[in-house]
Structure formats: C-alpha cells, structure tokens
Structure 1
Amino acid sequence: MNNNNIILIGMPGSGKSTLGVLLAKYSGYSFVDLDLIITKKTGKKLQKILDQDGYNAFLKIENQVGKELDCEKTVVATGGSMVLSAEGMEHLKKIGTVVYINVPIDEIIRRVTNVATRGIAFKDGETLNDVFKERTPLYEKYADVTVDFENAANLEETVDKIMEKLNLHK
C-alpha cells in the first residue's frame, strides 16, 4: 500500500475541496472528495443521510468510506467530521500525508451560511462554534502538516504553501 496521497482535513467551509482540486491540478495528482463517494455509495445527498438515518449512521458510513479508500498519488478531500472516525483516520494516515487546513472560527462562520442544508454532521443543538471546539484537537492530533488559510482570496498562495510543505513542485 502506497502512502503517497495527500489527505486534507479541516472544518466544514475550510476549503478542502476547493484547495484539493487546485492542489491536484498543480501537483499532477488525481483528486477525490469523500463526500462525493458517500453520496455515490448511498445514493443520497449528505443532508438526506443526516435527516433520514441520523448523525451516528452518517459517521459510520464516513468511517467505512475512509477505511476502504484505496488510491495513490491522489489528493483526498475528507468531510469535516472524518476526524471523529478513528479507524478511517488511521487508514488515511497510513496511505498519505494528512494536511490540516486551519481556518479561524470567525472565518468559518462567515463562509458557512447554509448549515441546515449543507450536509454537515452536527449533534442536535450543536453550533459551528461547538463543532470547532470539539474537532480542533482532533485535526491537530491527526495532522502531519498544518497550513493556515485565513483569507479565501489567497487560494493560490495557500496551495503554494501546501506544496512547499510537502516538497512538491508545480
């Protein structure tokens, strides 16, 4: 099993999918979004899984997708809640370098305006702030590399930072 993948983790709205596509383009890697794999596997949008099957069922599916992923030279955008799935994260760490996209909570709140329909795994009554406090220690625990992404206008600059930290070249 190869460990030449780039695994992106971070809060919902941190830019994992957007940065992932650009990172794949510049590095020559493939790109996969685990949220899309979940949608394809279940035949349901993320929000529908959460609404119909519940939070725990969603996390179980996400864990399964994470621990079954088999790819190489691929940029992988995970769902923001993947870090809650220990088995999935351990597998992802084995197959790649985990990059934490660190975005301040006030910027996350500014970016994520469609919380009720976006397919974000929340426990009942949780806010983005609660999720941030719960998950940040997990993002830090699993990260091999951390990249700050405070300003969405600096996409290219952030991709360059990631590539530099991973010793990749455009």
Structure 2
Amino acid sequence: MANRDNNIILIGMPASGKSTIGIVLAKALRYSFIDGDILIQNRTGMTLCDYMEKYGNESFLKLENEVNAGISCERTVIAPGGSICYATDALKHFKQIGTIIYLSIDYDMLEDRLHDARERGVVLEEGKSLLDLYNERVPLYEKYADITIAEGGSTLENLVVKIVSELTRRKLI
C-alpha cells in the first residue's frame, strides 16, 4: 500500500488547470503524473464527449469512479476530471493514498476559460448552467480537500511554488 503522503491529487472545476499545473508540479517534485481523463480515454478508446454522448452522464460518472478508485501509484501527481467530486469511492481511495489539493478558481475566471462546457466533455445535466454546476461542485471539492489553493490570477509558476510551499510547510513532501 502506498504511503498516504507521497501522492498529490489535484481536484477542481474543469479548466482550473489541474492537468497543466499537475505536469509542472510533477516535474518540480520529480514525481510521475497521471491524468484521469486520459486513463478513461485509453480504457474506452473514445473521447470523453463521445463516451458521454453514446452512454450518458451516469455511465460516465460510474466509469470515472471505477477508473480513479483503481489507481495504484507512489510519488505521483494525479489530476482526475472535474466530476471526480461525485466519485465517493475514488475520493476515499485518494484520501488513503495521498493529499488532495483543491485548485479553487472564481466563477468569472472559469467562465472566461471554459466557453462551451459540453464540447469540453464536462458532465452537465440538461437544463443546468455552468454557474449551477459551479455552485453544486464547489462545496464538494471543499469537503474532500486537505489543502485549498486559490488561483486568483496567479501564474503557473507561482501556483506551483504555492503548492510546493504549502506541502513543505505541512511536512507532506
């Protein structure tokens, strides 16, 4: 079983920078990097959008939970998809194998970055707006996070420094 303190899991809204920050953070720490969405695409042989279109959001959420709950690694930065906040089994697993960091982004910045949520493969129920989704997910991210890092317009490099500093301060790396 992996030591709880040697993996870092980045959670947050789609377009919050989980994958981009994760890659740079992994390089800075000399960790491996796993993108949860890529794992799902590799397993299904389909893009997230195509999978959701063919099988529906509920099937996707079940698959996302299963795939992420099955990740076994050490010294790895993991960036699951934004809908991981609904994946109870995966989040319990992540709590056991690492430190969960919520990359907090304000709604205006999210809206600027994410023009068409459905084209991006975002699990968005019919009739729900991006703001509805944001308001629904933020409390879930906060609930599961060990650490919250507010992006607040910081550069990629500054965000990585913030994360490393906080992990170091808490003696997690």
What pairs up with 1:60-139 in 2 under 5 angstroms? 60-139=62-141
2 CA distance for matches of 1:140 and 1:30?
A: 25
Runs of at least 5 residues in structure 2 that lack an aligned partner in the other structure: none
**Which SS does the other structure have where 2:16 is aligned?**
coil
Question: Which residue of structure 1 lines up, in the alignment, with residue 61 of structure 2?
Answer: 59
Question: Which residue of structure 1 lines up, in the alignment, with residue 143 of structure 2?
Answer: 141
2 CA distance for matches of 1:122 and 1:94?
A: 29
Correspondence for 1:22 among 21, 24, 46: 24
2 CA distance for matches of 1:125 and 1:36?
A: 27
2 CA distance for matches of 1:101 and 1:50?
A: 25
How well do the aligned residues superpose, as a CA RMSD in angstroms? 1.5
Runs of at least 5 residues in structure 1 that lack an aligned partner in the other structure: none
Amino acid at match of 1:27: L
Task: Quote the offset at 1:113 in angstroms.
Answer: 1.5
Question: Which residue of structure 2 lines up, in the alignment, with residue 162 of structure 1?
Answer: 163
2 CA distance for matches of 1:58 and 1:125?
A: 18
Corresponding residue pairs, total: 169
Identity across the alignment (%): 44
- The TM-score normalised by the length of structure 1 is 0.96
**4+ residue stretches of structure 1 with deviation over 2 A?**
none
